[in-house]
Amino acid sequence: MTPRWSDWKRYPQPGCNDNIEAPISPGIYEVRYASSGALYGFEAVDNLAVALARLPVKPSRFAGLFRRNAPALPELEYRVCATASRAHARTAAERMISLRSTWISGAA
C-alpha cells in the first residue's frame, strides 16, 4: 500500500490552545510557509507527533518592528505521511526528493 499525505493543517501558534494532529508512528512530515508555500522543513522521523512538536520555529526577522510584546512567528502549515517503519519513511522520502528534483529540472 502506498503511503498517503494528510491534508494541510495550520501549525499551532504558541499561546493558542491548538494541538498538532499527527500519528505517533514513523513517517514523513513536510512544513511550509502558509503565505508563499516555500518549504520550511521536510524529514523522515520515528515519531511524527514528537518531531512536529519539537520543530524549531523562529520568530520573523521583522517581529520587533511591529510588536513589542511577543515576536511574531511565521504562519506555517504541515502535513504528514505515516509509514510502517522508519526504513519505509526514509525510502519514501528519498523517492519524493528524487521525484521533486526531477520535476524541477524538467520545468527549468
Domain residue ranges of the chain, discontinuous segments joined by +: 9-107
Q: Give tens-digit pLDDT for 44-97.
A: 999 999 999 998 876 655 555 555 555 567 889 999 999 999 999 999 889 888
Q: What is the arithmetic mean of pLDDT over 95-102?
A: 82
Question: 5-8 — which CB contacts under 8 Å span 24+ positions?
Answer: 5/30, 5/79, 5/80, 5/81, 6/79, 6/80, 6/81, 7/79, 8/32, 8/77, 8/78, 8/79
Q: Give tens-digit pLDDT for 34-51.
A: 999 999 999 999 999 999
Task: Please give the pLDDT value at position 50.
Answer: 94
- Give the pTM: 0.78
CATH architecture of 9-107: 3-Layer(aba) Sandwich (3.40)
